[in-house]
Amino acid sequence: MNYKVPFVDYPLHYHRLEGEVGAAIKEVLNGGDLIMRRQLKEFEDNIASFVGVDYAVGLNSGTDALYLSLLTA
């Protein structure tokens, strides 16, 4: 059997969001502080609200996220 797996066209999606992504990156890098930023707090609040929990924690990697989730299980 031959299956054709459709891949995501990342360049197409990036070009649609290029201005927004570029502006967000500039804002973060021009701010100087790369940890405990307002954007991280907003992200955590939005994720917690979306999932329906009181708190969420943004981490630096998927590995740390998996590790902490296993510690709490």
User: Mind listing the pLDDT tens digit for each residue in 10-69?
Assistant: 888 889 999 999 998 898 888 877 777 888 899 999 999 999 999 999 998 999 999 999
User: pTM (2 decimals)?
Assistant: 0.61
In this structure, is residue 21 part of a structural domain? yes
Domain carrying residue 47: 10-72
Number of domains in the chain: 1
Give the per-residue pLDDT at 1. Answer: 76
In this structure, is residue 64 part of a structural domain? yes
- Alpha-carbon span 10 to 16, nearest angstrom: 10
Cα distance from N-terminal residue to C-terminal residue, the chain: 40
Rg (CA), the chain: 17
- Alpha-carbon span 50 to 4, nearest angstrom: 34
